Amino acid sequence: QQQVKQSPQSLIVQKGGISIINCAYENTAFDYFPWYQQFPGKGPALLIAIRPDVSEKKEGRFTISFNKSAKQFSLHIMDSQPGDSATYFCGGTSYGKLTFGQGTILTVHP
């Protein structure tokens, strides 16, 4: 059972543009929604996370928008930079068990 669906699979953005990645979840027991960034040869690194009682969270250039009724959430990367080129994973956590989405490969062209 695929519990977190992520889209798009890949995304190409120009430097300075906005990158948007979307996720939808099925498991209503999820109560913590993190986003991870992974570079080749490295483990996932926590980028930003949100709890379902909050509709938006912003940290620097990164913003999560959360819609509990629709069971959807998204990551917005403002002023995208070539250094942001990586694979991004959304996830949902229930009692410490993190279920990841399939990942989005982001490429930011200079």
Partner 1 sequence: DAGVTQSPTHLIKTRGQQVTLRCSPKSGHDTVSWYQQALGQGPQFIFQYYEEEERQRGNFPDRFSGHQFPNYSSELNVNALLLGDSALYLCASATASPTGNSPLHFGNGTRLTVT
Q: Running DSSP on this structure, what letter comes out for residue 16?
A: T
CA 21 to CA 73: how far, in whole Å?
9
Task: Let me know if 93 is exposed, middle or buried by CB neighbors in 10 A (0-12, 13-18, 19+).
Answer: middle
Which residue lies nearer to partner 1 by CB, 19 or 44?
44
Residue 64 contacts partner 1 per CB under 8 A: no
Q: Which stretch binds partner 1 (CB under 8 A): 13-21, 55-63, 73-81, 92-100?
A: 92-100
Tokens of 30: 């999820």
CB 104 within 8 A of CB 13: no
CB 82 within 8 A of CB 15: yes
CA 24 to CA 15: how far, in whole Å?
27
Shortest Å distance, C-beta 4 to partner 1: 8
Which residue lies nearer to partner 1 by CB, 17 or 105?
105
Residue 32 contacts partner 1 per CB under 8 A: yes
Find the binder of partner 1 among 34, 35, 75, 84 (CB under 8 A). 34
Residue 99 contacts partner 1 per CB under 8 A: yes
Q: Which stretch binds partner 1 (CB under 8 A): 52-60, 61-69, 77-85, 96-104?
A: 96-104
Which residue lies nearer to partner 1 by CB, 45 or 54?
45
